[in-house]
Amino acid sequence: MILEIAWKNIWRSKLRSLVVIVAIAIGLLGGVTAVAFMNGLLIGRIDDALEIEVSSIQLHNADFMENSELKYLIDNVDDYIVDIEKDSSVKAVSKRLVIETMVSSNRAAAGLSLIGVDPEKEKQVSRLYEKMLDSNSTYFVGVKNRPIIIGEKVAKKLKVHVRSKLAISAVDVNGVSVRSVFRIVGIFRTQNGGFDEMNAFVRFKDLQKILGIEDGKAHEVAIILHKMLETETLKNTLQEKYTRYRINNKSLLRVLNDSIPESVYYKLLSIKSDKEYSKIEFESMLKNSFIEKTNELYSKQVLTACETGIEVSEWKQLSPELAMQTSWMDFVLYIFVGIILAALGFGIVNTMLMVVLERIREIGMLIAIGMNRRRVFSMIVLESVMLSLVGGVVGLFLAGSLVSFLSINGIDMSMFSDGLRALGYPSMVYPYIEADNYIKVTLMVVITGILAAIYPALHAVRINPSIAIRE
């Protein structure tokens, strides 16, 4: 019955309650939609980042990650690819050659990363082929001899267009300078201006031939998973299988750079050798040889420092800024909605205080006839929670409807496309918010209702019935 009274009491002053409800609803509509918008922006960025730039997982020669020299290749790369393709979580795999080079046209030159890809395999890993600028551009179609694809910004810088020739200067595996001419078949434009400015694509076999790289070798293996973001399991499996560990001069230098204690450094120095270990073997050796309890804290750093062979990196490592933004999205929601609710909370405090002050005689009567103070407190808190919840439900319903509509139709931000491209974000944003966030926000609304009611409820329980009844 107290629940019923609390509910009925909300509607005593309809206008006042409606003002609070509308304020909460608008606050949540704004807060949730804004967070959904940021989420959509980030998801758009992540989708493109993974499907065009970094893929889900990449394999490299461990030394290549530190120093992108031509010689740091993955040997027997096709064996790795066959092995990886057996995993059911893998959607596609593509090998790449990657060199830093100078590209020049008749009128200008630019330094960029030249990436050699197998076009058919690469299309399964990367959606770059969808990002061709116009109908003149193709994805390695139309020119048999040494086709090249460049970004729009590079094309502008070099003042070239489709069918123009570009000269590539590089150093082959023997250290000899080579120069080769490619013909532009496509100009791409992704949502990340930085990516467009830094990368050009040629066929794997063309680059392999120019650089004199033997068959079965590549710099990079790009893997895309069916569930693009869920990389941890496969990453760990591959790392376990492919990464080797060795304590040599290079790893010792890394240990020093990581500020690992000198005692650990000298112990590692004492067992330095060129022998390579699997992860299990290496961990077991560390444990048995010298890593004591106090040094276990550093064992992860030691492992990383001693990595050799193949290094397996997931998108979170390849693009840590995206990983950070993803992990912050929930936090952003709490902060955003929290600030809005805190502001609204003061409005609820004011309303509930008015409610109590207007009903002093009635509350006094309730206490007089036997309603204990705990129940009086609960009644006021319930009124506040119900009032907040009505606003919350209305706000979340409106926000849900709006986000749902916008998630299908999108928000066209093309007027800011230059700025967004510079940061790598899409100009068409599809707001999105996880379903469980609605529950979390509802809980936050309930908590706000409870907190906002505490002061008015304490005021109510302190009412002296003998005085209140005569008011």
Partner 1 sequence: MSIITLSNLNKIYNEGTDIPVHAVNNVDLSFEAGEFSVIKGASGCGKTTLLNLLGGLDTPSSGNIIIDGVEIGKLSASNLTNFRMNNIGFVFQAYNLIPVLTARENVEFIMHLQHKSKKERKERALALLESVGLRDRADVRPGKLSGGQQQRVAVARALASKPKFILADEPTANLDTKATENLLDIMENLNKVEGITFIFASHDDRVIKKAHRLIELEDGKVIG
**Binding residues vs partner 1 (CB under 8 A):** 1-2, 5, 8-9, 11-12, 361-362, 365-375, 465-466, 469-470
Residue nearer to partner 1 on the CB measure, 162 or 367: 367
Distance CA 192, CA 53 (A): 9
Residue nearer to partner 1 on the CB measure, 156 or 373: 373
Q: Can you tell me which residue has the tokens 């020669």?
A: 61
Residue nearer to partner 1 on the CB measure, 9 or 61: 9
Residue nearer to partner 1 on the CB measure, 361 or 440: 361
Closest approach of partner 1 to the CB of residue 468, in Å: 9
Closest approach of partner 1 to the CB of residue 391, in Å: 20
Residue nearer to partner 1 on the CB measure, 401 or 466: 466
Closest approach of partner 1 to the CB of residue 461, in Å: 10
Distance CA 3, CA 9 (A): 10
Distance CA 122, CA 142 (A): 18
Radius of gyration of the chain (CA): 32
Closest approach of partner 1 to the CB of residue 370, in Å: 2
Q: What does the block give as tokens for 448?
A: 């706000």
Distance CA 449, CA 384 (A): 5
Distance CA 448, CA 342 (A): 7
Closest approach of partner 1 to the CB of residue 1, in Å: 4
Distance CA 429, CA 108 (A): 36
Q: Is the dihedral of CA 218, 219, 224, 225 positive or negative?
A: positive
Residue nearer to partner 1 on the CB measure, 108 or 357: 357
Closest approach of partner 1 to the CB of residue 12, in Å: 6
Closest approach of partner 1 to the CB of residue 334, in Å: 36
Residue nearer to partner 1 on the CB measure, 70 or 366: 366
Q: Are 97 and 145 in contact (CB under 8 A)?
A: no
DSSP state at residue 59: E
Helix axes 373-409, 435-461, angle to 10 degrees: 150
Q: Are 332 and 18 in contact (CB under 8 A)?
A: no
